[in-house]
Amino acid sequence: EPEVTQTPSHQVTQMGQEVILRCVPISNHLYFYWYRQILGQKVEFLVSFYNNEISEKSEIFDDQFSVERPDGSNFTLKIRSTKLEDSAMYFCASRPDRAEQYFGPGTRLTVT
């Protein structure tokens, strides 16, 4: 069964550094999402992406964040200058038209 994959599973970075989190959505899906979950808290929506552009973003998704679909398969989340409070699990999700979302296993980002 096809699934969403994410790399790396765990990323440790120093404050102020740039990180890129990678996702490979399910191949025939059209809509792509990033969510994050700070330890012990709710899963929070960050951004949705469709037809090669952002369709919606949350207040969390400020100028430090960007997303890209550089080729036909990858979907990336970049954080330009990480802060301590960016430490969280980051989940990628995708869906076909008018259907449920499929989530990846997540990337644990630790900012020190």
Partner 1 sequence: DAKTTQPTSMDCAEGRAANLPCNHSTISGNEYVYWYRQIHSQGPQYIIHGLKNNETNEMASLIITEDRKSSTLILPHATLRDTAVYYCIVNRDDKIIFGKGTRLHILP
Question: Using the rule CB under 8 A, is 102 a contact of partner 1?
Answer: yes
Q: 6 and 103 in contact (C-beta within 8 Å)?
A: no
Question: Using the rule CB under 8 A, is 106 a contact of partner 1?
Answer: yes
Read off the tokens for 55: 């369709």
Tell me whether residue 32 or residue 79 sits nearer to partner 1 (CB atom). Answer: 32
Q: What is the DSSP letter of 64?
A: T
Binding mask 30-49 for partner 1 (x = CB under 8 A): -x-x-x-x----xxxx--x-
Binding mask 49-78 for partner 1 (x = CB under 8 A): -------x-x--------------------
Question: Using the rule CB under 8 A, is 101 a contact of partner 1?
Answer: yes
Spatial CB neighbours of 74, under 8 Å, sequence gap ≥ 6 = 22, 23, 24
Tell me whether residue 24 or residue 44 sits nearer to partner 1 (CB atom). Answer: 44
Q: How far is CA 56 from CA 48, 95, 108, in A?
A: 5, 15, 23
